[in-house]
Structure 1
Amino acid sequence: MTARHRLWLVALLLGSAALLALGLAIGSTGWSPWLNADPTMSMILWDIRAPRSLGAWTAGALLALAGAVAQGLFRNPLADPYLLGCSAGASLGVAMLLFAMGLSPAATALALRVGMTGAAFVGAVGAVLLTLVLARGVEQTLRLLLAGVVVGVVLGSGSALLTLMNPDIMRAMQAFMLGSTGYVGWSAVQIMAAALLLCMLVALGCSRTLDALSLGEATARSLGVRLPLVRLLLIAVLALATGAAVAQCGLVAFVGLVAPHLVRSCGAITHRTLLLLSPLAGGMLLLAADIGARWVIAPQELPVGIITALLGGSYLLYLMHRRNVRGGVR
């Protein structure tokens, strides 16, 4: 890691700490000081805002890590965490859960036991497994991409059909599709933190392989890289990181796509450094969006996915404009 990258690391850590402090102070009721003798306000700060802010940061870190892994694995800067059908699988899992709750008391009891987070996680991981089956393994990158697109379309159609058959679940599905951190508690923070730690360890262990893979599959094989095993490990990281974040916060757009691009803007970078800095950038992005979602129309609240879509889309448009200007200058 170069001196410039160390400065970025320090800046991202300080920015994350500042946003976490701001997240404790801002809520739907406005600005609140940390040290407050009122027991009700103290409960709001430490039982609602603290886990929500930490959960938003952790979910953003998971999505950014998954995005960096996907872009390195598929050698495509436009790859995002939902590339292998995770989002469609999670949506179908939630739609099936909500649909089952109106069928019978037994189905309702089972649905309540599983919960929306469990259904979303199972659906996301199941979609990735289905993609692997359709792609006949992990040997062909193009086949994986095509299988992911097919799975996404088919499972997305399934969730749309269930919503059409039972319009009463539309409001809950809309909240899930737009993303929300409002229901994140300490247990969710612990689950996402454990998933982030595990995924980071595996991804960092594969970072040199990603560097070799960026030179081409033939070059990577000539360097002795066991591509099938590494692909399988990275897809597992992609599925676990995306599934954990989506299960707790719904479908949050653009964070996994934009965060690695922000880190790459600091110059040439290895995958090890990218995998270290991208989660910090993603955590900051989603936490900043969550604070904005609480504050913009307070005491009401915007879905956090709307804020991330606006920020992420604006940044990508800026990148396109800058590249077009540079191309014109040349």
Structure 2
Amino acid sequence: MSPTPAPPLTASPPAAPPAAPRPRWLTTPAGTAVTAAALALLLAASTLPAIGLGTALVPPAETLRYLWAALTGGSIASDEVTRYQIIWNIRTPRVLLAALVGAGLGAVGVAVQALVRNPLADPYILGVSSGASVGAVTVGVLGALAALGPYAVSAGAFAGALAATLLVHLISRSAAGTTPLRLVLTGVALSFGFQAIMSVIVYLVPGNEATSTVLFWTMGGFGAATWGSLPAVAALVLAGLAVLHTLARRLDATALGDETAASLGVDTERLRRVLFLVTALMTGAMVAVSGAIGFVGLVVPHVVRILVGAAHRRVLTVAPLAGAVLMVWVDLASRTVAAPRELPLGVLTALIGVPVFLLLMRRRGYLFGGR
């Protein structure tokens, strides 16, 4: 009797690395409060070195003294005026703007992913950044809005961002309302259209002014930060954060589907319109002063969900703080790694975001909201 042949050997697929267990207390209100407090302290502690470090190194004690003199109207020695100007008029508004934009991108990323029900969505998926770039380049090349002085290009970028948002909203509407899929497809299509317009402008306009403007808006940076540009951005970002917090429970309901949300009393069509408007205003304001900074609004929401769970109230509490801390340190790195030259922020956020995103894909038990 011949021996029974052994079954063929098949290689089992490699298992994904096991995910580290998340402490349950992190998903409680107390755990979220502790996480938010820790990030707030880290943000406060990061501000001083971010202001003092750079091509011109200013020790922490002197940095504090200059900040105190600026806030209280104190006096400084005549030989310290240059360093005082660097600390107060250049770096302080830059660091504050970095924190604002980081917080806004973290929150808008959460909202947009809920709006289009796509875990790969980021604040720029609806064509806002491409529209802003067209507006900025057009104003810079044609000299429009000259009455606004140094804020003309930012105003043009903001107008372009809002125009792109309005186009996406109008084109994506149908008799059945605005669906997440139509929003995404319309935004992606118009992004390519705006990029084509930018290419034509760069090609036809002599000189490199248009090219440098396009590069700034596509790679991002805070080099143009001033005290004058902070109030408008701060007002829109902080107001948007407050509105998003009030919508947190409704966002939880929409994550279960339109029918389930409707059974819970949520008007999903109206919610999408509000989300669309809030995220458009926030993103337009941020792009107008910093350009498009990739991966922050995409990766930060997923990392925060791993820490504190998927409930939007918790995520919208922690994500802005995490985004602010990340952006302050990325901006500091952009100014110091290759000093005296400055690296584009988009390069550094991509270098951080790509490996983090790949690690998230390999993480067992977290497949971007699905299984």
TM-score, normalised on structure 2?
Answer: 0.82
SS at match of 2:240: helix
Separation of aligned partners in 2, 1:42 and 1:177:
32
Aligned to 2:45: 18
Aligned-partner Cα distance in 2 for 1:276–1:125: 26
Contact 1:15 1:284 (C-alpha < 8 Å) held by counterparts = yes
Residue 117 of structure 2: which of 70, 75, 96 is its match?
75
Corresponding residue of 1:104:
none
| Counterpart check, 1:91 vs 2:133 | yes
Measured after TM superposition, the shift of residue 254 of structure 1 is 0.8
Q: Is the 8 A contact 1:81 1:256 kept in 2?
A: yes
Q: What is the root-mean-square deviation in Å for CA atoms of aligned residues?
A: 2.1
The answer to whether residue 46 in structure 2 is matched with residue 9 in structure 1 is no
Stretch deviating more after TM superposition (271-280 or 35-44): 35-44
Gaps of 5+ in 2: 1-27, 67-75
- State how far apart, in whole Å, the 2-side matches of 1:230 and 1:319 are: 29
SS at 2:307's partner residue?
A: coil
Residues 1:279 and 2:324 aligned together? no
Provide, for residues 108-133 of structure 1, a one-character-per-residue CA deviation record: whole Å limited to 9, x for no partner.
84685861110111111111100011
Amino acid at match of 1:260: P
Q: Pairwise mapping of residues 308-319 of structure 1 onto structure 2 (< 5 A)? A: 308-319=349-360
- Per the TM alignment, residue 100 of structure 1 is displaced from its structure 2 partner at its CA by 1.2
Aligned residues: 321
Alignment correspondent of 1:117 = 154
Residue equivalent to 1:132: 169
> Shift of the alpha carbon at 1:293?
0.6
Q: Distance in 1 between matches of 2:365 and 2:103?
A: 30
Q: Is 1:305 the equivalent of 2:305?
A: no
Residue in 2 aligned with 1:193? Answer: 234
Q: Partner of 1:149 in structure 2?
A: 188
SS at match of 2:121: coil
Q: Is the 8 A contact 2:126 2:183 kept in 1?
A: yes
Letter of the 1:127 counterpart: A
Aligned-pair distance for 1:13?
0.3
* 8 Å contact kept, 2:305–2:315: yes
Q: Per-residue deviation at 1:199?
A: 0.4
Task: Map 1:1-330 onto structure 2 (within 5 A).
Answer: 1-33=28-60, 34=63, 35=65, 38-101=80-143, 107=144, 109=146, 112=149, 115-136=152-173, 139-168=178-207, 169-323=210-364
Amino acid of the residue matched to residue 166 of structure 1? V
Contact 1:90-1:120 at 8 Å conserved across structures: yes
Q: How far is the alpha carbon of 1:247 from its aligned partner? A: 0.3
Q: Give the TM-score taking structure 1 as reference length.
A: 0.91
Query: SS of 1:77's equivalent?
Result: coil
Query: Whole-Å Cα distance in 2 between the matches of residues 14 and 113 of structure 1?
Result: 34
Once residues 108 and 142 of structure 1 are traced to their aligned partners in structure 2, the CA distance between those partners, rounded to angstroms, is 36
Equivalent pair of 1:30/1:295 in contact (CA under 8 Å): no
CA distance, structure 1, for counterparts of residue 306 and residue 268 of structure 2: 28
CA deviation after TM superposition for structure 1 residue 15, in Å: 1.3
Is contact 2:116–2:183 with CA below 8 Å preserved after alignment?
no
Residue identity in the other structure for 1:122: A
Q: Residue type matched to 2:83 in 1?
A: M
Name the aligned partner's letter for residue 34 of structure 2.
Answer: L
| 5+ residue gaps, structure 1 | 102-106
- Structure holding more helix per residue: 1
CA distance 1:94–1:263, shift in 2 (3 Å): same
